[in-house]
């Protein structure tokens, strides 16, 4: 019976190892160079953003804020406390909604999972019981422009706790849309722009 041929011997010293051998394992030293953030990029596909939520960050959601001043807007909004929906108040309705609306700064955000959303950060820090919430939210907003953070409400102190991620690698990939486009997606069916809007009539008791 003939013996099986010996397996080829790969010499690691004094000769060039074949591609894919143990000597190439340094490839795995830097995972950031290997990680595929968006598999769609391999096929050339482009995601079309069809909707964007208007909300504050979730308590266990690490996120970033777009630092571009053009990606923010100070405005008046109204929050439906029952449904949680946020409505944009146009100039024509501001006077009628001044008492029930909220002065906020809308900023473009993105979670670490790539979810885009608009965060209405309270802009009026002078309001009595809500001052701590407003001031801590603004501190978080500025911090998130350069660091991955998450926020948690501390009801006993009346402020948001700001927690930085231990791992700060990776930068958000912002959608190729203007802030005008994001506003249109976020408020496409939640606009209060006329004095006889159903929500205004409801607040007036009609």
User: pLDDT tens-digit profile of 152-196?
Assistant: 999 999 999 999 999 998 999 999 999 999 999 999 999 999 999
**Higher pLDDT among residues 205 and 107, named by residue:** 107
Q: What are phi and psi of 203, to 5 degrees?
A: -65, -25
Q: Whose CA is closest to 163, among 116, 117, 121, 112?
A: 112
Mean pLDDT over 77-105 rounds to: 94
pTM above 0.85, yes or no: no
Residue 29: pLDDT band with limits 50, 70, 90: confident
The confidence score (pLDDT) of residue 145 equals: 98
Residue corresponding to tokens 């950031």: 32
Give me the pLDDT at residue 10, please: 47
Report d(CA 184, CA 189) in Å as an integer. 9
Q: How confident is the model at residue 110 (pLDDT cuts 50, 70, 90)?
A: very high
**In this predicted model, which residue has the larger pLDDT, 158 or 26?**
158
Tokens 């609306």 belong to residue: 101
Chain centroid offset of residue 135 CA: 20
Q: How many CB atoms lie within 10 A of CB 33?
A: 8
Cα distance between residue 126 and residue 192, in whole Å: 25
Report the distance separating Cα 10 and Cα 14, nearest Å.
11
């Amino acid at each position: 019976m003939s013996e099986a041929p010996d397996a080829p011997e790969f010499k690691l010293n004094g000769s060039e190892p074949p591609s894919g051998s143990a000597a190439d394992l340094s490839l795995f030293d830097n995972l950031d160079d290997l990680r595929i953030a968006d598999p769609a990029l391999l096929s050339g596909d482009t995601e079309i953003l069809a909707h964007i939520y208007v909300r504050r960050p979730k308590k266990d959601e690490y996120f970033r804020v777009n630092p571009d001043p053009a990606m923010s807007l100070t405005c008046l909004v109204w929050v439906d406390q029952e449904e949680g929906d946020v409505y944009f108040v146009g100039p024509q309705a501001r006077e009628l909604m001044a008492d029930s609306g909220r002065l906020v700064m809308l900023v473009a955000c993105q979670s670490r999972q790539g979810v885009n959303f608009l965060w209405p950060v309270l802009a009026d820090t002078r309001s009595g019981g809500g001052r701590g919430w407003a001031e801590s939210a603004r501190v978080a907003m500025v911090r998130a422009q350069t660091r991955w953070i998450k926020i948690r409400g501390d009801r006993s102190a009346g402020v948001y706790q700001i927690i930085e991620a231990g791992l700060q690698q990776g930068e958000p990939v912002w959608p190729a849309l203007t802030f005008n486009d994001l506003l249109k997606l976020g408020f496409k069916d939640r606009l209060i722009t006329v004095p006889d809007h159903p929500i205004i009539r409801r607040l007036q008791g009609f």
